[in-house]
Structure 1
Amino acid sequence: MRVSGHDPTKSWKLPHDEKFKGDYKWDIIKTKGSLLLTTSLINLASKDKWESLEDLKTVYKFSLEEPKCVQYWTDDKWFGLQRVQGANPVLITLCTEIPSKFGVEPEMVKPFLEGLTLEKALLQKRLFIVDLKILKDVACKDARMLTAPIALFFLNDRKELMPIAIQLFQDKGPDNPVFLPSDPEYTWLLAKIFYNNADATYHQSCTHLGFTHLLMEGVVVCTHRNLSPSHPLFKLMAPHFLYLLAINARGLEKLISENGWVDTTMTVGRCGMFQLIKRGLKQWHVDVNGIIPNDFRARNVDDPAILPNYPYRDDSTAIYKAVRNYVTRVLQFYYDKPEKVINDVELQNWREELVLSRNEGGIGLVGVPGENEKFTMVEQVIDMVTVIIAICSIGHAAANFLQYEEYGFPPNYPGIVYSEVPKDKGPHTLEDVLKTLPDKETSLDIMVITKLLSRLGTKPLGDFEVKYLYHPVCLKAAEKFCAELKDISTRIQVRNESAEFPYPWLDPKIVPNSISI
């Protein structure tokens, strides 16, 4: 699935080395059918709407276990937690001023600021924001409506991130009100549902598909084109490319084909998804978004004193540093002098294609380290390789493996909604909420596919299926890498033992080496 001109829904013949091996070879459609049969849910494949939430919950009496969010999906506290440990924890940003397009007034939110004024809450760095402006005017399948919301969050005295205002479209006006926790119960709930539909759209399009599967496919192809199998960079990165082309060729052909899973279970459908990915890739920079600590700094949420209880940040940063330490030990051995970097023709050709525009057949990466269109020092190569390995492991794991926990109960994190977007703050009912949900057949399709996609893939990070580096220096580097990951895993497990809402998804024990599912 090349990020340049190739149509990602068209299959091609994979090289033998890129195909699934042995018992890892599976067919997504057959697996889905098998899962449907074993759940005894095939009788739910109808266009009937859910009559009640209890009707929906009957699904979990079979083999599909109940996602934990069923217990608390309506809670504001949970809605805030989704921003820091949900499927899309990459957008929350410190709010330093209220944007002029956001119709929030001081008196409007004063009841939710625990005695602070809006101005003081801003000065004390207690307010956070997510602005999904990238979604504005994205084309949707079958004239569906996608919001482009802005949401404001307050860090309360208990260090909980609580939503205090949601505006569903970018331009404020009488038919685009700011929804508040004090609004009628189901009116506020609908605002959160439509917000989460927008967030889920960004998650599946950019955070998951665009910034891991597609971006790294281009890198894999570029690596094969420019680095020989004997090159140390190839040997270092190859374990993290395992099965990526295979899963893209097989799985995504089935899921993103015309009238396939994305068209039927996501508001935007496949065309809108690719439009959004194209927008997202224009904004994605290696030196900001790819370098994990830089991304948190850019959003001013890197300091735990400002935003505590952000496990995605803490875990991803720790693993990123371990990856960088590993890459550093290996590459400083091979490139012990700057001249070895500068004069490495394969390395420089690889960088040249990484930055070459997609219109010219390159990968089109922005922010690749270097000077004068070259790598000039080993630290630049270390940064680039670390970013690639981190995306294939940390980035994909965080975006992929809790999909069932988020999407498996459709009201919690809906990929698709059906009713009209609320344009006023009048009272709504539970029936209005049920009308937003997909029918039984579509709901079941969402549950089964996200359950399938949430299955763990290759071996844990550092436990390589195939090894290419056997020099004692490299073996020692890998040994230290595994030791660092073990320490991180222990810390995460200890934290999760006492956490009300555990976040295990970046425990190195379950973070795979590669994007293989």
Structure 2
Amino acid sequence: MSFRFVVYVKTGDQRGAGTDANVTITLHDSNGAKSEAADLDNFLRNDFERGQTDKFSLSKSKTNAIGPVIAKVEFWRDSSGIGSDWYLELITVENMTTGKTFEFPVLRWIESDFHYVITHLDTSLPQFDEQKAMRIKELSKKRKVYEYSQKAKGMPSQIKLMPPDEQFSFEYKWDILTTKVQLIATSKIVSLSAGEWDSLTALTNVYTKKIFHTPAGADRWSNDIYFGHQRIASLNHSLIKLCKSIPDKLAVDDEMLKPLMEGETIETALRKKRLFICDYEILKDLPHRPNLVLCAPIGLFFINSNKRLVPIAIQLFQQPAPDNPVFLPTDPPNTWAFVKMWYNNSDAMYHQSLTHLGYTHLLMEGVTVATHRNLSQSHPLFKLLAPHFLYLIAINTRGLEMLVSEGGWVDKTMNAGIAGMFELIKRGLEQWRLDVDGTLPEDLRRRGLDDQSVLPGYHFRDDALLLYKAINTYAGKYIKLYYDSPEKISGDWELQNWGHELTNAREEGGVGLLGVPGNGKFTTVDQLIMVLTTIIYTCSVSHASTNFPQYEEYAFPPNYPGLMRGVPPVDKSPKEESDIIAALPDKPTTLDIMTVTKILSQRGTKNLGDFEVQYIFDPKARDIVDAFRQDLKGVSKEVKDRNETRNPPYIYLDPDIVPNSISI
């Protein structure tokens, strides 16, 4: 019996993906027989255009020697035509006689005159791949394209040159400068071209209903409850710790704090787990811009009887001194507000340098490079991770060029500038560990916050744990599908090479991650689950939580001032509104902060679990993906239900709005 076959060919959406070359295909059945070579060409039709799916009917004379089940496709192209380069995403073969379809994910640039052989579903560990030679050849080529580079000594490993495949598909969406001009024009803000602020009222009146709405922080910036809320449900949510003892360098005592702690002493408040601390010691002596100051504060916080976290003491520098007093909520109101602004100025530096840029964007760029260099596109772990790397290299390249460059946005809008930012990233990398800082339950345990009855209102923790569990379950099921014995782990040389590069020193051509289980020599499924969960969590949940609140917090400078002029207070003498105004950035810098944080707060890619490109075709693996999506729907409902009673709600970790990747 002969069968009739139709071939569907999907060309990718990358720039220059389409081809004018001649394409030929051969089908291989499950018994080893193969069809005659068939040219794929529709008469008077421009086949293989970017983003297009083309249908080709194969004549029975070409396929009468093969059986009903197609196990492999073999295809090749020539170099004819004006544009012969071709990015092929997927080949689907349909047996029109039986109604069965067979999918062959390609996801590759196709070289001319090379015969590609892709097996059904194209998912295998390297030791079991029939096409080892092709696999090794492709990885060797990718290592030449994905090369490591350190922008400066001690900095993370990044891409040396951005590969064409990493470009944004729709370039116009991601042009920060053009978008900035469009935002300003659309909002019709014309009053911020020059000059200084003369009052807080004038600043508040700048915001419009269209484009630049009034940020959340504008109405609450001087409120102690909101200041406490910023520590646990805002941009920089993972620095706070349970205070188990008062450090000697924080000059507080019972007499000072008792009026602020509802009658508790320091000892009883510690015992009842009502005291929490944020210590910015890592900022001490950090380089900063000339004529500006950067504090290295310590903040002490208390859970009041309404279960609200409130600040009760702030010391702006690490060591007590006559000109470095402990400031209290009982100090003159404008003085206390001014101190909180200086505190948040330091918090902004920590947030942008480490929580946001260093610990998500830059760390995951190195992981992305290592993955492309070591895991074949046929590897099941590549297919698991690839959706979470979408546009990461592109946004990092664009962001560093436009925002974190000499004289760029960071230099204009932050006290430390890029010199301080880079030094802080170096310091942070020396202490960040994947098995602690990158693993949410361990990070919470280290900070004494793993018990969810401690620190009520810690919305980041409570929602992030739901997502972490869903991702951990997803990664665990997926990994166990392909590694059902320790021998499959030890025998997977691509996996072991990947682990080696993840842990190898940055100066020696690796990512330099600390805390990778087995120091990158994987032996157990649990090790893989930890690492894969951390990578997916960091690229989605961790980044979303620290990126998307930016406009609401930064766009009203008194609330979260990245830039503070002048000097912090050295005593408790009363301050006037004019002192606060004088410390704020001028009008053009304020507009710069508003526009860039507005852009950075936009969502550019699909939500978690809804992948832009389908990499996973194995039916059992697809069932695992479907289960993950169902878990996320449950998480979304629970987060929405929680937000019904939260004031204010915490929206940033609803899976409906958490993207798959670091794409902005």
Residue number in structure 2 paired with 1:342: 490
Amino acid at match of 2:648: F
Q: Return closer, same or farther for 1:159/1:147 CA change in 2, 3 Å cut-off.
A: same
Check conservation: 1:5, 1:358, Cα contact below 8 A. yes
Greater relative CO (CA pairs within 8 A, separation 6+): 1
Of 173, 193, 197 in structure 2, the residue corresponding to residue 45 of structure 1 is: 193
Secondary structure of 1:274's counterpart equals helix
Deviation of the 1:129 alpha carbon: 0.2
Q: Does 1:409 pair with 2:556?
A: yes
Query: Which of these residues, 358, 362, 367, is aligned with residue 210 of structure 1?
Result: 358
Q: Hey, what does 1:79 align to over in structure 2?
A: 227
Alignment of 1:482 onto 2:632? no
Question: Which ranges in structure 1 are unaligned for 5 or more consecutive residues?
Answer: none
Displaced runs of 4+ in structure 1, greater than 6 A? 8-12
% of aligned pairs identical?
A: 54
1:91 to 239, 245, 260: 239
Quote the residue 2:301 is aligned against. Answer: 153
TM-score normalised per structure 2: 0.76
Residue 162 of structure 1 aligns to a residue in which SS?
strand
Deviation by residue 1:275-303 (Cα, 9 ceiling, x = unmatched): 00010111100000111111111100121
Q: Does 1:31 align with 2:192?
A: no
Could you say which residue in structure 1 is the equivalent of 2:425?
Answer: 277
Counterpart Cα distance in 2 of 1:441 and 1:361: 42
1:65: Cα distance to partner?
A: 0.3
Q: Give the Cα separation in 2 of the matches to 1:178 and 1:218.
A: 41
TM-score (norm 1): 0.97
Q: Deviations over 1:393-428 (max 9, x none)?
A: 011101100100110111001111002111111111
> What is the SS of the residue equivalent to 1:287?
coil
More helix by share: 1
Match of 2:393 among 232, 239, 245: 245
Deviation per CA, 1:21-40, whole angstroms, max 9, x where unpaired? 13674311111111111111
Q: In structure 2, do the counterparts of structure 1 residues 4 and 296 end up closer, same or farther at CA, with 3 Å as the change threshold? A: farther
Is the CA contact 1:464–1:513 (under 8 Å) kept in the aligned structure 2? yes
Name whichever of 446-455 and 18-27 sits farther off.
18-27
Deviation for aligned residue 1:43: 3.8
The structure with more radius of gyration: 2
Amino acid in the other structure paired with 1:292:
L
Describe the superposition over 1:136-192 as per-residue Cα deviations: whole angstroms up to 9, x where unpaired: 000002241000000000111110001000000001111100000100111111111
Q: Call closer, same or farther: CA 1:160–1:62 in 2, change over 3 Å.
A: closer
**Equivalent of 1:14 in 139, 151, 162:** 162
SS at match of 1:286: coil
Q: How does 1:122-137 map to 2 (within 5 A)?
A: 122-137=270-285
Q: Distance in 2 between matches of 1:45 and 1:205?
A: 28
Given the alignment, which residue of 377, 384, 406 partners 1:236? 384
Q: 2:643 aligned with 1:496, yes or no?
A: yes
CA distance, structure 1, for counterparts of residue 209 and residue 228 of structure 2: 30
Q: Which moved more, 1:174-183 or 1:492-501?
A: 492-501
How far did residue 44 of structure 1 move?
A: 1.2
Partners in 2 of 1:16 and 1:187 — Cα distance? 53
- The structure 2 residue matched to 1:399, chosen from 536, 546, 549, is 546
Q: What is the CA–CA distance in structure 2 between the aligned matches of 1:300 and 1:2, rounded to whole Å?
A: 40
Judge conservation of contact 2:159–2:369 (CA < 8 Å) in 1: no
Once the two structures are TM-superposed, the CA of residue 42 in structure 1 deviates from its matched residue by 3.7
In the alignment, residue 387 of structure 1 is paired with which amino acid?
A: T
**Amino acid in the other structure paired with 2:150:** G
Give the drift of 1:499.
1.7
CA contact (8 A) 2:230 2:236 kept: yes
The alpha carbon displacement at 1:13 in A equals: 4.8
**Does residue 1:172 correspond to 2:317, yes or no?**
no
Q: Where does the alignment leave 5 or more consecutive residues of structure 2 unmatched? A: 1-145
Deviations 1:449-493 (A, max 9, x none): 000100012100000011111112211111110111111111111
| Cα distance in 2 between the residues matched to 1:81 and 1:288 | 24
More strand by proportion, 1 or 2? 2
Mapped to 2, the partners of 1:497 and 1:306 lie a distance apart of: 21
Match of 1:513 in 2: 660
* Distance in 1, Cα, partners of 2:345 & 2:148: 25
Query: 1:351 maps to what in 2?
Result: 499
What amino acid sits opposite 1:53 in the alignment? L
Contact 2:149 2:159 in 1 (8 A): no
Question: Which residue is equivalent to 1:66?
Answer: 214
